[in-house]
Structure 1
Amino acid sequence: MTLAPYACDPARSRGRRYPEPAAPTRNPFQRDRDRVIHSTAFRRLVYKTQVFLNHEGDLFRTRLTHSLEVAQLGRSIARALGLHEDLVEAIALAHDLGHTPFGHAGQDALNACLHEDNGPAAQEPRGPDEPHGGFEHNLQSLRVVDELEARYPAFDGLNLCFETREGILKHCSRANAAWLETREPDGVGARFLRGASPSLEAQLANVADEIAYNAHDIDDGVRSGLLTLEQLEAVALFDEHRRAALSDHPTLRGRRLLYETIRRMLSAQVYDVIDATRQALREAGVQTLQDVRAHPPLLRFSAGMREASAALKRFLLNHLYRHPQVMETTGRARQVVADLYRVYCADPALLPPGSRREGLSLRRQVADYIAGMTDRFAIREHERLTGQRLFG
């Protein structure tokens, strides 16, 4: 693997929080990727929602299939830019480990519970080992790999490299960044306080995530019947490639036309990111990883593709994510999460013994436990504990 001078080099990694001997056949970033794949949290992603709930169909994206798609796109772009493919893949596979059941609906409900709780659990002081407040799924992903996975005899978490952990934490509130800084000076929270940028590998995983979910939510939206090809003709990015596909294959119809259009969209965005990033790196005169960290994000779309991608996002927001059928389902999902939170806080004995942790308030322990649930487990637990059946 030939690395660009501004790429992350595993031989110069900032290392792990707990020193370990080097592996004889794998570089540190390969090792991180393998640890993520073998983690319990990664396996749970197969039953966690992307847009449609897990029980709604076998062919819709889950967090697991989405993460694999992000990793594939990320590796392709990394290879072209001379970035470290194993690091991009490790970040991509781990980036959603902290997502709650029911996707963003579950995250919003859990965040609201932690902010608005007025019950007995809210009176407990915040422990030294828990974040400032609320629920951030990026921070939760970091908590999973740093604290919540219990697989090794000498430490909690997966003990990943700094560079992988930095990429997992793509967003963080200033309050939680300050909390991280007290626990790990000059660690993964420092850049949010200093206004610095992460590595290009971390930036790439973020962009690959956007490319993947935009394109594949179109596929799931059409498969569900909530979107039509006729509606999508209003989206310039989609329609451009639909017309090109029909020009080359005039008889294409239905799903084959959809697949060919999405394939061309993905390719166009990948090549656009490669070209725009190369240009940005040249214009910025970036030569080293330190240059990357000192400069605003450089891994990017061109201005035209950025606007086209934003228009696609707006379309999906208005026609898919806010579709009445999706909103009705996510409303019930929020109720499941909120009810579970109240039940566990009112009776902590209902929590399994393995979920209790020293240094955490009850409300944070409850949040960690719920965040780790799959969609179907949360639905079953809600029915068992409340007697309500909100999903068929």
Structure 2
Amino acid sequence: MIDKATLDRAVSAGILDAAQRTALLDLAASAGPSVALGPTSDRLSVDDQMRLVGGGNDIFVTVGIVLLFSGALFALQAVLPPDSMLLAALLAAGSWVVAEIVTRQKRMRLSSTLLALVFSAAVLTLLIDFVGQQFSLPGAINAFSLLALRDDALPIGLILAGGLIAASAVYFMRFKVPVLAAIVAIAATGLAFLAAVLVYYEQMINGSIAAPAPDQLAQVVSNALSIPLVCGFVVFAVAVFLDLHDRERQTVWSDCAFWLHVVSAPLLVHPLFILATGQDVLSGRIEPGMSASVMLGLMIAGFVLVALAIDRRSLLAPTLAYFGSVGIYYLVNSAANTTGIPPFALILLTIGAIVILFGAGWQRIRRLIIRPLLPTSLLERLPPIKA
């Protein structure tokens, strides 16, 4: 990027004349937000670019899409039989047709995101209807009926998750809508969790491991959280890879990374929160002694540093929201605490201060903390730090 001061010096040195300087400024202004002239410190962070809404017309078209598909849904439900697979197929096809104009030609961000979600929901409904016709599903879903499905569980999971992933991939190749990255990550995580549960159940059936006693269920459920934790790290690693592939955040892959960070944050935070606070996963009770509060504070600091390093508030925002909501829940349900200020109250105060402070000066804080903390070789691979 060349700022205005550099252009002024170029005019003074005779490299450019005044007319050429004006023409360059006009060209930069017409190029949109991806090209900007001016002091670097005055430009927005690459993570601050409006990725979800393209403007007032985008919102206007989004309202039209909601009305269009709501009307189509009610009309088709009145005309088609209740169990017809044609309903979901028509909605999926309709969202594709509308996307050819709204997404393919006009590149409206919010409208395109909504259409991609409509398409994904229609495809998932279509797959569920297909599974219902191909497999003998129980009328009531409970623990015993699910156990009866164990032989068909993996094929059902592969059809639902695999079909959704395949459909999302085809839609993405056509329209390049970033939110589909989140759909794929969620479907893959669900399939991985199902596979792990089936392996554990088969080991119990074969006698490889003993069935847990009632007092061991909490430990079993706690161990099961390792599945979303591992999936969260995988999704996070893919998002970071995409970020490093596009340090300036100029391509659709960076927008995909944004959604992957949104998905990875709760997958990472919830298991780590339980490990740090000693929460009972069955009852939800927390024993927030000083050690738990210290661990929680260290977790927050770790997430803050990682978010600053990769320049992603999309990772930090759901993390702080989770900590804050759980902390508020604990405070409401611990009115009988007579030890003074609960430790989580201090956590909430810290989170509130972090949100306000970072919202006001994200790039400055990033420059002050990350630049002296990390070696130059690593900084050169991370998103650039604004001067």
Pair in the same fold by TM > 0.5: no
- TM-score (normalizing by structure 2): 0.28
* Structure number with bigger Rg: 2
Greater relative contact order structure (CA < 8 Å, 6+ sep): 1
- TM-score (normalizing by structure 1): 0.27
More helix by share: 2
